[in-house]
Amino acid sequence: MVRFYKADNKKLFFKQNIFDLLAIIPFDSIFYFFRAFRVLRVIKLLRLIRIVGFTGKIQKSIKRFFGTNGFIYLVITTVILILIAAEIYSVAENAGYMNSLWWAIATTTTVGYGDISPHTGIGRAVAVVLMILGIGLIGSVTSTVTAFFVDDKTDKDNDALKKELQDIKLELKEIREELKKGK
């Protein structure tokens, strides 16, 4: 430390004597530094546990969402129809399956980039089916989201009403018992 203090050019001294400077650092300090990393690992583990708990809650919500209005069946049917339509388009238009799949998805989502378009009658018929399917899918998604949130609010309201009804029943039972004692 004295040599470092007396050096005229401290940067040059530091560069030339790096090993000497490292040698004077107490080992305990280094070990405390690594312990800090262990604490950080524990904190990260706690975050992971919190995420796992959050995942369980989201999983229930997702199951309930897909169960609303039978939405899961619509999604499965839509995926199957998109895959079949892509295959039909691929054969009818003599195109690769991946390009056909891209076209089917773009058509179903009503984006219709126009980079790929059907030229045959069969291809155009498949396009019409996919367009109608896409419009129906978007409408169903909208109604399912609405029903999901309305049902959630209704469930909370129903729980509050059930609790209130139980309280009224309990109070009515107590009043009847008091009336019986009074006779």
Give the dihedral of Cα atoms 11, 13, 16, 20; nearest 10 deg. Answer: -120
Whether 42 has a pLDDT exceeding 70, the answer reads no
- The confidence band for 84, taking pLDDT boundaries of 50, 70 and 90, is very high
Computed over every residue of the chain, the mean pLDDT equals 80
SS3 of residue 175 by DSSP: helix
Classify residue 175 as exposed, middle or buried by CB count within 10 Å of its CB (0-12, 13-18, 19+).
Answer: exposed
What number is the average pLDDT over the span 171-183?
86
- The Cα-based distances of 157 to 99, 153, 162, 169 in angstroms read 49, 6, 9, 18
Cβ atoms of 15 and 32 within 8 Å: the answer is no
Distance CA 103, CA 93 (A): 11
Distance CA 35, CA 33 (A): 5
The per-residue pLDDT for range 86-101, each reduced to its tens digit, is: 999 999 999 899 989 9
What number is the average pLDDT over the span 31-47?
60
Model pTM?
Answer: 0.52
Distance CA 147, CA 182 (A): 51
